Amino acid sequence: MATSDSKAAPEPQPFETLRWRGELPGELILLDQTLLPGEETYLVCRTVSDVFGAIRRLSVRGAPAIGIAAAFGVIVGIQEATRSEEDLTRAFQETVDRLAESRPTAVNLFWALDRMKARFAELSGKPPVEKVQRLLDEARQIHEEDRQQCEAIGRHGAELLSDGHRVLTHCNAGALATGGLGTALAVVYSAVRDGKKVSVYANETRPLLQGARLTAWELQRSHVPVTVICDGMVGTVMRQGRIDAVVVGADRITARGDVANKIGTYTVSVLAKTHGVPFYVAAPESTFDFATLHGDDVTIEERAAEEITQGFGPRTTPDDIDTYNPAFDITPAENITAIITDRGVIRGPTEEKVRVHFGR
The secondary structure of residue 174, as a DSSP letter, is B
Query: Is 342 annotated as catalytic?
Result: no
Order of strands across the sheet with 252-254? 288-289, 252-254, 259-262, 328-331
Active-site residue, from 146, 251, 258, 342:
251
Do 214 and 33 form a contact (C-beta atoms < 8 A)?
A: yes
Question: What 3-state DSSP class applies to 243?
Answer: coil
**In what helix (H) or strand (E) does residue 358 lie, and over which residues does it extend?**
helix 351-358
Question: What 3-state DSSP class applies to 294?
Answer: coil
Q: What are the distances in angstroms from CA 228 to CA 11, 38, 275, 276? A: 22, 17, 20, 22
Question: What 3-state DSSP class applies to 190?
Answer: helix
**Per-residue three-class SS string for 67-101:** HHHHHHHHHHHHCCCCCCHHHHHHHHHHHHHHHHC
Do 166 and 244 form a contact (C-beta atoms < 8 A)?
A: yes
Of 209, 214, 169, 171, nearest in space to 187 by CA: 169
Of 188, 154, 150, nearest in space to 168 by CA: 188
Catalytic residue ranges: 251
